[in-house]
Amino acid sequence: MTAAEPAHPRRRAPRTGDGEDEERRQPARRAGSGPRAGVRSAASAMRSAAEQLAQLLGRPPDSVSSLKPSQDGWVAQVEVVELERIPDTTSVMASYKVVLDEDGELISYERTRRYTRGMIDRPT
């Protein structure tokens, strides 16, 4: 294996014989990025999303409520306490959508919802 090949190659469609199809299917790489380590598990993607969002917001995450693989990496919903109140059920929470690339680096985040901790989701 050469330095330019990933440690775990992606599955490829069967060859057609001309070699051109395979070149077109290769994902574009960032210049100088070399082999990608990538996020190998859902647990490491969850930790990465929570840690990076905490660094940006200056608040620790309360939980990761969802995590889904995407075509380019991972998408997580991270719950954060935005305003602590007494009693705890009245604390203001926020849900953030966090997008990670396949290396586990945060690409974007956005607050998608604010609610009180004691609020229950009801089916619509």
- Tell me, yes or no, whether 104 lies in a domain: yes
Structure tokens at 99: 């997008």
- Let me know if residue 18 belongs to a domain: no
- Asked if 53 contacts 106 with a C-beta cutoff of 8 angstroms, the reply is yes
pLDDT of 20 > 60? The answer is no
pLDDT given at position 70: 95
One-letter identity of residue 11 = R
pTM recorded for the entire structure: 0.67
> Does residue 19 belong to any structural domain of this protein?
no
Convert the pLDDT of each residue in 31-61 to its tens digit.
Answer: 333 334 577 899 999 999 999 999 999 999 9
How many structural domains is the chain composed of?
A: 1
Range of the domain at 77: 42-116
Give yes or no for a contact between 86 and 92, defined as CB atoms under 8 angstroms apart: no
Report the C-alpha gap between 62 and 72 in whole angstroms.
26
Domain assignment present for residue 64? The answer is yes
In a domain, 66, yes or no: yes
Cβ distance 3 to 34 under 8 Å? Answer: yes
Residue 116 confidence (pLDDT) above 60: yes
